[in-house]
Amino acid sequence: RGSLAPRDIVARAVDNEMKKSGDDFVYLDITMRKKADILTHFPNIYAKCLSIGIDMTKDFIPVTPASHYMCGGILVDEYGKSSIQNLYACGEVSSTGLHGANRLASNSLLEATVFAHRIYLSALENYKNNIIPDEIPEWNEQGVTQSNEDILVTHNLRETQKIMSDYVGIVRSDFRLDRAMRRLFLLYEETEEFYKKNKVSVKLCELRNVIQVAYMVIKSAVARKESRGLHFTTDYPDHAKELVDTII
């Protein structure tokens, strides 16, 4: 079926070519179709490509796979409650049990709406008995200074994103996951050091969270000695005989 195969197969094939060549994209060629067909079927894509200097009736289009949905996330019950008291999770960040190893097609928006309503009902009920403590101490900023090296935060965020895309993306292997974990650990150490010495900022807190989530994704992927759904590893290309949870 070539490029009309299911999207995980096409994405894996594209990823394979990019990994072999080290290039950031492959080309999509639709020049064999008549201009009138292209304009009728893909008017928006045609206009977008033209606006960045690509005439898809004559030129190849550079393409790369992008993430469409993240399966897994914060484990919640049927009312969106996480294991932390009064912390709910809803939408793509949550793991409700609706999706399996792959996303149940076109259901994420429906899921988010249903769980948002359930969380509202549960929170309304819980709030009645909730006591908000009034002696929460102020944030202690003693011993830290205002950073003038925020480039570390920006750089480490970019590097974490690159590590996750290149080594923990569509096609994984023990080698790539190990490499990702070792590199992430360096970023973790640097960021924690920076956090202890400098005033907190939103960007810095988000970076720490991103590194934490990346760590859990890699750890969970390493524990999975099989390929199933969205998780594909060249070292274990088949389904395991028994299902094993990799919940952390």
Instruction: Compute the distance between CA of residue 175 and CA of residue 181 in angstroms, rounded to an integer.
Output: 10
Q: Which residue's beta carbon is nearest to the bound ligand FAD?
A: 91
* Residue with token string 């009138």: 36
* Residue with token string 């919640």: 76
Which three-class secondary structure string do you get for 219-242?
HHHHHCCCCECCECECCECCCCCC
- Contact between 93 and 74 under an 8 Å Cβ cutoff? The reply is yes
- Contact between 204 and 173 under an 8 Å Cβ cutoff? The reply is no
DSSP H or E segment with residue 20: helix 7-21
Instruction: Compute the distance between CA of residue 96 and CA of residue 94 in angstroms, rounded to an integer.
Output: 6
* Residue with token string 């550079």: 62
Q: How far is the CB of 104 from ligand FAD (least distance, A)?
A: 9
Q: Does 117 bind ligand FAD (CB under 6 A)?
A: no
Q: How far is the CB of 91 from ligand FAD (least distance, A)?
A: 2
Instruction: Compute the distance between CA of residue 130 and CA of residue 136 in angstroms, rounded to an integer.
Output: 16
Choose between 109 and 121: whose C-beta lies nearer to ligand FAD: 109
Region binding ligand FAD by CB under 6 A among candidate stretches 21-29, 107-115, 152-160, 184-192: 107-115
- Under rule CB under 6 A, how many of the chain's residues touch ligand FAD? 11
Q: Does 199 bind ligand FAD (CB under 6 A)?
A: no
Region binding ligand FAD by CB under 6 A among candidate stretches 50-58, 106-114, 149-157, 167-175: 106-114
Site for ligand FAD in 61-80 (CB under 6 A): 68-69
Q: Does 92 bind ligand FAD (CB under 6 A)?
A: yes
Site for ligand FAD in 11-70 (CB under 6 A): 68-69
Q: Which residues are catalytic?
A: 7
- Give the interface with ligand FAD as residue ranges (CB under 6 A): 68-69, 91-93, 106-109, 112, 206
